[in-house]
Amino acid sequence: MKIWAGSMVALGFTLCGVQAEVSSQQLEQSLDLRERWMGLTRDVLLAPQWTDDNQSFYYKLSVEGGFRFYLEQLEPGHRAQAFDHQRISDALSKASGQQFSPLQLPFDSFSYGRNADIRFYYDDSLWSCALDGSSCARQQRQGQPKAFGVVRDLRVAPQNSAKVSADGRYQAQTVGYNLRISDAKGATVLESTDGSAENFYDPQSIQWAPDSSALLVLKVKPGTARLVSRVLAAPADQLEPKTITQLYPKPGDAVDIEQPVLVQLASRQLKPIDPQLFAKPYSLDELQWRSDSSGFVFKYTERGHQLARVVAVDAKTAQASALVTEQSPTFIDQWGGSYLQLLQGNNPGLLWLSERDGWAHLYRYNNQGKLLNQVTQGQWRVRAVQRVDEAKQQIWFSASGMDPKQDPYYVHYYRINFDGSGLTALTSANATHEVVYSADFSHYIDLYSRVDLPNQAELRRSADGSLLRVLAKGDISRLTAAGFKAPTPFVSKGRDGKTDIWGLLVRPQQFDPNKSYPVIENIYAGPHSSFVPKSFWPFGYHSGGDKVIGMQALADLGFIVVQIDGMGTGNRSKAFHDVAWRNLADSGFPDRILWHKAAAAQFPWYSLQHGVGIYGASAGGQSTVGALVFHPEFYSVGVAYAGCYDNRMDKISWNEQWLGYPVGEQYRASSVTEHASQLRGRLLIINGEQDSNVDPASTMQLVNALIKADKDFDLLLVPGGEHAVGRSSGPIRYVQRRQFDFFLRHLQQQQTPDWNK
């Protein structure tokens, strides 16, 4: 049940009074909350997947003692363990050096491999374990990586196995910096001579035309090879430190310039494509041949993310033409608002996702780039496309915000005809949904939940959406008996006085409405998505932090802990999102502050008397410091994890998307390092020494600026810690305890235990 902020004004509330010293036992209980509660759910189904033959599916299910993975038949519904949990836990424990029990395996989903094995991600790596438990190994990444998608790591050799044409008559690969095409006997048919270290043919980009008449390949001018070095001060295998280097392009750096080249076998010619239509590239993506081999198509994103284009190249003439040109005065969202699908059947063309009418919707074009129709429309947004059925001229997609009576972030699933008719809803329950289709789309699993509704899983028939059977209904009776109470959604108006701003509140287990509680905000302002939880699973995944339980653990120490999606975050209208453009310092604070004030006006126990506490990680760390720098009259205590405190120091991809190109005054304006002298309140900075996501130097530059400004602050550097230190990696318990201590001392003015006794 959501609570709407109305005109009700609190008659008054008591101030946060002096409280007894918090005990070590209280803190220990909060730190242990996730472990104590994790095993209290039953029949909560997670991460369903189908087998390739469409006849069965598998999933993770909470059981007494933890979780089991099950494999279930479509007909007649027989269920068995998906694998031998004891064998897998033994093999993984031996291979990783960490001890795992059969019911506490460290992954939430897996896939069946082709060699009687399962594959899953653990510890930021892909692992493969034989089903018989005979082996388990971390898989090495293949090929030449591209740092943040734009600069090839030339220290790593690319995959250079020969690419064989569909008819088997030819094979192509690079020799040195050049392209060589040979026949089946190995005789050279064509070989370039213009390749060099400064302009080379990329073997990983070679694509043959379906009829083997031609191929396309990218010729590459390398971008800036910026290497970031980190010192591993306390390695596990030796006394002396180690130095680690990472290819890490930053905003403004030169990216790889990729030149498509058409190779025509009949004429034995290599024809570079005129770059006039893609002259200022950030990236060239989704290169693909048309099914009739008449040409190929790719998506071009211009540097600055304000222009995107679908470019078609004719295989006979090598001439390029623009099928779609998309422009925006702000940004074109490549994180959550990008989709291109070629239509290769009897009515060739393409589908394209655009926010040109203010919302993310699908548009259909013919093969010459003429707009045929807008497929979807309305004040809601398409979230993803799952299937394009050219035979039936239908699109299967997910969307949010279509039902004005529901939370606008809830995801639902639909089917629609190419011409925009026949919109059919495949989900209806007032909740957010995850639908997983069988490979032939004949059936689907509908997994839905809310923060106050545990996971419900149903098997349905796609043709008519009919229910075949209920797979699982989450049972949280034990969790509720232990004290769990679902977070409370709360909605108020934003800075424009009319837009709804959604968030949620977490109260202490021993909540007393007659008391007054200081407030702490858990912030992540994106802006690449929305972040307030909408589904039930409060514990988070092994790789995804602690979600609601982490907020509950903090709340139990005597706080109200909240999370809000202010303007500038995603999954709403284009205008809602555009607030972030070239202004990451905004972080939605005008909306957040109004939200807090609306909550305080409605709830007497919601105290803003001593300022609001705030914490966050990564971009949330940046926003946390921003709260104390730009809004110190409202926010008073902050804990900042792994922040990108100056966006010029962070990765190129995320920052140029929102702050634009070239690097200019907008970067300086959003930098909290540049404004460190404005800091007020109390600040704890936490960072992992080996953060590979955000250059740790960004943290030390902020520290340097604070010292120069003669500011007091606390700093915790975790040796060997990665980007997720204190959330899903590293010494989580210690780091969280430091966060809890900090808020208790500075927001509640409580004395915390002497942990060194």
Contact (Cβ atoms closer than 8 angstroms) between residue 131 and residue 115: no
Q: What is the pLDDT of residues 562-607, one digit of tens each?
A: 999 999 999 999 999 999 999 999 999 999 999 999 999 999 999 9
The interaxial angle of helices 547-555 and 24-31, nearest 10 deg, is 170
Mean pLDDT confidence for 637-655: 98
Tell me how far apart the alpha carbons of residues 12 and 10 are, in angstroms, rounded to a whole number.
5
As to burial, measured by CB atoms within 10 angstroms (0-12 exposed, 13-18 middle, 19+ buried), residue 90 is: middle
Residue-wise pLDDT for 416-437, tens only, equals: 999 999 999 999 999 999 999 9
Domain 16-38+485-746: CATH class, spelled out: alpha beta
* Phi, psi (rounded to 5 degrees) for 190: -155, 135
For residues 398-412, give the mean pLDDT: 98
Sequence-separated (6 or more) residues with CB below 8 Å from residue 66: 38, 39, 101, 103, 104
pLDDT value, residue 18: 44
Nearest C-alpha neighbor of 306 from the set 325, 329, 323, 284: 329
88 touches 118 (CB < 8 A): yes
Alpha-carbon separation of residue 389 from 49, 377, 416, 697 (angstroms): 21, 20, 10, 49
pLDDT above 70 covers a percentage of the chain that reads 97
pLDDT for residue 17: 44
Question: For residue 726, what pLDDT is reported?
Answer: 82
Q: What is the mean pLDDT of the chain?
A: 95
715: amino acid identity, one letter: L
Residue 708 token pair: 């120069």
Are 571 and 581 in contact, with CB atoms under 8 Å apart?
Answer: no
* Nearest residue to 597 via CA among 553, 564, 645: 564
Residues 6 or more apart in contact with residue 1 via CB below 8 angstroms = 452, 488, 489
Tens-place pLDDT, residues 18-46: 455 889 999 999 999 999 999 999 999 99
Residue positions counted in the chain: 757
pLDDT digits over 601-635, tens only?
Answer: 999 999 999 999 999 999 999 999 999 999 999 99
Predicted TM-score (pTM) of this structure: 0.95
Give the other-Cβ count within 10 Å of 376's Cβ: 21
Say what the pLDDT of residue 20 is: 56
Q: Is the peptide bond before 662 cis (omega within 30 degrees of 0)?
A: yes
Mean pLDDT of 205-220: 98
For residues 29 and 483, the answer to whether their CB atoms sit within 8 Å is no
**Could you tell me the residue ranges of all domains in the chain?**
16-38+485-746, 45-140, 151-310
Please write the tens of the pLDDT for every residue from 61-75.
999 999 999 999 999
Q: What is the pLDDT of residues 309-344, one digit of tens each?
A: 999 999 999 999 999 999 999 999 998 889 999 999
Same fold, 16-38+485-746 and 151-310: no
Amino acid at 374: Q
Predicted confidence at residue 427, as pLDDT, reads 98
**In the block, residue with structure tokens 């699933």:** 413
3-state secondary structure string across 615-670: EEECHHHHHHHHHHHHCCCCEEEEEEECCCCCHHHCCHHHHHHHHCCCCCHHHHHH
Quick one: what percent of the chain has pLDDT higher than 90?
93
Confidence of residue 8 (pLDDT cuts 50, 70, 90): very low
Q: What is the pLDDT of residue 77?
A: 86
Q: At what angle do helices 732-746 and 547-555 cross, to 10 degrees?
A: 40
Question: At residue 401, does pLDDT exceed 70?
Answer: yes
Tokens representing residue 477 in the block: 């009776």
How do residues 346-381 score in pLDDT, each as one tens digit? 889 999 999 999 999 999 999 999 999 999 999 999
Q: Is the dihedral of CA 706, 708, 711, 717 positive or negative?
A: positive
Question: Based on the number of CB atoms within 10 Å of its own CB, is 682 exposed (0-12), middle (13-18) or buried (19 or more)?
Answer: buried
* Helix axes 589-602 and 619-630, enclosed angle (nearest 10): 70
Q: pLDDT tens digits, residue range 226-272?
A: 999 999 999 999 999 999 999 999 999 999 999 999 999 999 999 99
Residue 728 has pLDDT above 50, yes or no: yes
Give me the pLDDT at residue 1, please. Answer: 46
pLDDT in tens, 682-722: 999 999 999 999 999 999 999 999 999 999 999 999 999 99
Predicted pLDDT at 540: 80
pLDDT at 12: 30
- CATH 3.30.465.10 at 151-310, yes or no: no
- Grouping H, G, I as helix, E, B as strand and the rest as coil, residue 204 is helix
Q: Given phi > 0 = left and psi -120 to 50 = alpha, else beta, which region is 670?
A: alpha
pLDDT over 50 at 14, yes or no: no
Residue 484 predicted with pLDDT over 60: yes
Look up residue 237 and give its two tokens: 């295998």
Using CA atoms, how far apart are residues 203 and 158, in angstroms rounded to an integer? 7
pLDDT band at 541 (very low <50, low <70, confident <90, very high): low
Residue 559's pLDDT is 98
pLDDT of 729:
73
